[in-house]
Structure 1
């Protein structure tokens, strides 16, 4: 029989598939909906590890990403920020709560960015906070997931915003 820890780590593997796919999309809505699916698997992962703030905030994050796939209205952003504060206060457990709140807050700002470029840029910082959080709670697969997610974001950012296009290369030759 598998331990709860092993099951929690396996759930991260499912979330990883959605995270890796997410930033390979150009369409902002597809990016956000793939991340929403990953968040729900991560919420169950943290539930199994009895990391209550992370569980609540991942659930909030999944809902946030699902909603922000359809709208960038600031009132929704504020609503999810308030939910993150309430969830953190309700489950507060010290440093791990502060780290997961910081990550969630930054990623809330990212989710309601008007462009996929800004979404990617702000996401770098939120993911870095989740990596630190996952080191503190010692979830090896979650550390790997967020690291792969960060790298997927870097690759997507490079593909769409740094790598020169053929037309850029033609202009340079003229």
Structure 2
């Protein structure tokens, strides 16, 4: 089996956690599921020699794990600085800019106080990861982020649009 094939299989494992993540209502479960997916994605990018994405996915995994317990702004700033340092350290042009943009947006999302705001901001960060994955040509990563986006849309609909359409009160956790 080639290194590329193994990298694509790692995305399959990450995909399971990403799809599940936004089907949870509990913010902590959402974030911890995404954290696990990020660590698999970091290994995926490592095998593809995409150093900025590797570093930023590892930082993202840690960020999601921490943000499952706190929304304190100092942590958001800490992980933003780590993303800047990781990007500067591994800079490789457009791919670095795309992965940094995605990571920066998703850092803001991760430290949102509500799952609704987390979901809304996540839409933008995921689109940047899709663009990154197109540029580095990782078909399974393109698929993963696309499914992640779809899962987020479905979860958002289930918890916020559908209840509003039915005249039900929407709870925040």
TM-score past 0.5 threshold? yes
Q: How does 1:1-40 map to 2 (within 5 A)?
A: 2-40=1-39
Q: What is the CA-CA distance between 1:164 and the residue it aligns to? A: 3.0
Partner of 1:78: 77
Unaligned runs of 5+ in 2: 169-173
Q: How do 1:147-162 and structure 2 match up within 5 A? A: 147-162=146-161
1:127 aligns with 2:132: no
Q: Structure 1 stretches of 5 or more lacking a match?
A: 170-174
**Deviation of residue 32 (structure 1)?**
0.1
* Alignment: residue pair count: 168
Residues of 1 paired with 2:37 and 2:6: CA distance?
16
Q: Which ranges of 4 or more aligned residues in structure 1 deviate by more than 4 Å?
A: none
Question: RMSD of aligned C-alpha atoms?
Answer: 1.1
Aligned partner of 1:172 in structure 2 is none
Instruction: Write the deviation string for residues 7-55 of structure 1: whole angstroms up to 9, x where unpaired.
Output: 0000000000000000000000000000000000000000000000000
Q: 2-side partners of 1:4 and 1:25: how far apart? A: 33
For 1:57, the equivalent position in structure 2 comes to 56
> What SS does the aligned partner of 1:71 have?
coil
Aligned mates of 1:58, 1:168 — CA distance in 2: 39
After TM superposition, give the deviation of residue 168 of structure 1 in Å.
Answer: 1.6
Give the Cα separation in 2 of the matches to 1:166 and 1:132.
33
Q: Secondary structure at the match of 1:163?
A: helix
Q: Hey, what does 1:67 align to over in structure 2?
A: 66
Q: Look up the match of 1:92.
A: 91
Between the aligned partners of 2:163 and 2:138, the Cα distance in structure 1 is: 38
**Deviation of residue 165 (structure 1)?**
6.3
Q: State the distance in 1 between where 2:164 and 2:95 align.
A: 42
**Structure 1: distance between partners of 2:105 and 2:164:** 31
**TM-score normalised by length of structure 2:** 0.95
Match of 1:145 in 2: 144
For residues 114-173 of structure 1, give each alpha carbon's deviation from its aligned partner in whole angstroms, at most 9, with x where no partner exists.
Answer: 00000000000000000000000000000000000000000000000000369627xxxx
